[in-house]
Amino acid sequence: MIGVIDYGAGNLGSVMNALKRLGFAARFAAGPEELSPGGFKSGTGSSIPASPFEKIVFPGDGHFATAMASLKKSGYDEAVKEWIRADRPFLGICIGLQLLFDSSEEAPPVDGVAVRGLSIIPGTVKRFPGRKVPQIGWNETEARPRSRLFRGLPAKSFFYYIHSYYAAPGDDETVAAEADYYLRYCCAAERGALAAVQFHPEKSGAVGLKLLENWAG
């Protein structure tokens, strides 16, 4: 079973529809407790069952600070960290990629206090330097040969994008694919069972479905 995290962001239904179209069992997570490894006692002394999910998708779009505030309010921030620390299959999409980083230029410090991301991938999220943002539409995406996400796809494929900020990992080994928009940037990351993409595979036709199948299969 694949769990889809719903923390109030948009564009969740299309991801769910794409997974079901591919024949994968999927549903929205009922709450952060469903990402628990189980086997321990809660604060009330009751036993917490193991997660019903084998894999988790973290999709959505929106503002970095607003999305982080929503994650913290719901408790999904710590649940996601715990899931990834356990090296369980995880796919972030769009803001689900950006929130994995330390910080974003979209959310500058307020009264000297920085808006922190999940800090799972070292690095930051930066605004494209050009005047024409967001990037909207199809863009050529070049996968690195070792990438598992892009297995069976042409080295250069077109995916659908809509974003004004891009991820800048501190470690080049994390980069799974790159695209060009004013500059060359990381549009997909992989590390262990963790994978994340800036584009929307669920809106990218056959190549997008193939990428989702690679991850979920």
pLDDT reported for residue 111: 80
pLDDT reported for residue 185: 98
Whether 187 sits among the annotated catalytic residues: the reply is no
> Per residue in 129-171, pLDDT tens?
988 999 999 999 999 999 999 999 999 999 999 999 999 999 9
Which position among 94, 106, 186, 190 bears the catalytic label? Answer: 94
Q: How high does pLDDT run on average in the chain? A: 92
Name the E strands within the chain.
2-4, 26-28, 40-41, 47-48, 55-58, 90-93, 103-104, 123-127, 135-143, 156-163, 165-169, 175-181, 183-191, 194-197
Which position among 34, 106, 190, 202 bears the catalytic label? Answer: 202
Angle at 16 between CA 210 and CA 169, to 5 degrees: 65
pLDDT reported for residue 13: 87
pLDDT reported for residue 47: 54
Give the residue extent of every domain in the chain. Answer: 2-216
- pLDDT over 60 (residue 42): no
- pLDDT over 80 (residue 201): yes
Distance CA 160, CA 19 (A): 17
Whether 202 sits among the annotated catalytic residues: the reply is yes
Which position among 34, 187, 190, 200 bears the catalytic label? Answer: 200
Residue 25 contacts residue 50 (beta carbons within 8 Å) = no
- pLDDT over 60 (residue 39): no
Residue 26 contacts residue 213 (beta carbons within 8 Å) = no
**CA quadruple 127, 170, 188, 85: dihedral positive or negative?**
negative
pLDDT reported for residue 93: 97
Whether 200 sits among the annotated catalytic residues: the reply is yes
| Burial category of 45 from C-beta neighbours within 10 Å (exposed 0-12, middle 13-18, buried 19 and up) | exposed
Its CATH class, for the domain covering 2-216, is alpha beta
**CA quadruple 202, 129, 150, 155: dihedral positive or negative?**
positive
φ, ψ of residue 164 in degrees (nearest 5): -115, -10
Distance CA 45, CA 84 (A): 25
Q: Kindly state the tokens that stand for 43.
A: 């604060």
